[in-house]
């Protein structure tokens, strides 16, 4: 029984990686099938949590699934440039739920060094982009504050618990910030070669790590509770 979830985990991760590579290639070459493979890749990644046991941190799992749901919605909305603001709001709500999930699972962690570093980086990126933002200045400012807070609390989980799952979360939140920074640079500052490859690659790696971390936390909790019974 213990090996069965791991089998599903490996299979889903492999399918997700293949779908991500296809989607990135289709986007880079401008193929219309990208419209299908982009949401499909996110769906495959998130589907991992449907194989996680119902027992073990159910609230945490539910909140994280809600966050991934908004990521999927954001992916779909961003397929149409006219819906960029709506996509931004969807990802904003995803980050709020990620924060709530982290807090529900491990509580609030105030770590001065990570706070100063992350918000200094977030602030520097915002003020660098500011002259090019125009009407997007306020939405982008709110988004930067929220995603930086998400990254801060995600890293805080790792600082509290050095387990493998929390190291994945710490890396994931950094990659999410990097992906969104690259997206903002490409959209507002200056388009660059291989932008889609870097943006999508870091994004899917980020949510893949978050999904696998959530799966591991839930599964380890079930195994530990079963061993204590």
Per run of 10 residues, the mean pLDDT along the chain (length 229 residues) is 68 96 96 97 96 82 97 97 96 98 90 95 96 95 97 95 94 98 95 94 98 93 58
**pLDDT, position 43:** 98
**pLDDT, position 3:** 54
**pLDDT, position 226:** 52
Nearest one of 62, 11, 13 to 218, comparing CA atoms: 62
**pLDDT, position 1:** 43
**pLDDT, position 8:** 83
Query: Using CA atoms, how far apart are residues 154 and 102, in angstroms rounded to an integer?
Result: 7
Phi, psi dihedral angles at 55 (to 5 degrees): -80, 160
**pLDDT, position 225:** 58
210 CB-contact burial (10 Å; exposed 0-12 / middle 13-18 / buried 19+): buried
**pLDDT, position 54:** 76
Alpha-carbon distances, residue 153 vs 47, 85, 134, 169, 174 (angstroms)? 24, 25, 30, 10, 11
**pLDDT, position 19:** 98
């Amino acid at each position: 029984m213990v090996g069965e979830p791991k089998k599903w985990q490996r299979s889903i991760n492999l399918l997700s990686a293949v779908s991500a590579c296809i989607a990135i290639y289709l986007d880079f070459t401008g193929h219309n099938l990208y419209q299908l493979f982009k949401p499909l890749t996110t769906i495959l990644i998130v589907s991992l949590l449907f194989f996680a046991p119902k027992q073990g941190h159910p609230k945490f799992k539910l909140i994280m699934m809600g966050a991934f749901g908004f990521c999927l919605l954001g992916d779909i909305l961003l397929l149409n440039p006219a819906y960029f603001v709506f996509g931004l709001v969807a990802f904003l709500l995803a980050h709020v739920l990620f924060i709530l999930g982290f807090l529900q699972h491990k509580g609030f962690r105030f770590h001065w060094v990570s706070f100063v570093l992350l918000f200094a980086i977030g602030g520097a990126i915002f003020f660098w982009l500011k002259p090019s933002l125009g009407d997007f200045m306020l939405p982008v400012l709110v988004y930067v504050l929220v995603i930086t807070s998400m990254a801060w609390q995600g890293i805080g989980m790792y600082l509290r618990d050095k387990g493998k799952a929390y190291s994945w979360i710490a890396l994931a939140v950094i990659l999410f910030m990097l992906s969104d920074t690259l997206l903002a640079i490409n959209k507002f500052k200056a388009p660059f070669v291989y932008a889609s490859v870097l943006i999508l690659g870091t994004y899917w790696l980020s949510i893949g790590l978050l999904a696998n971390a959530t799966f591991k936390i839930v599964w380890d909790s079930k195994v530990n509770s079963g061993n204590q019974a």
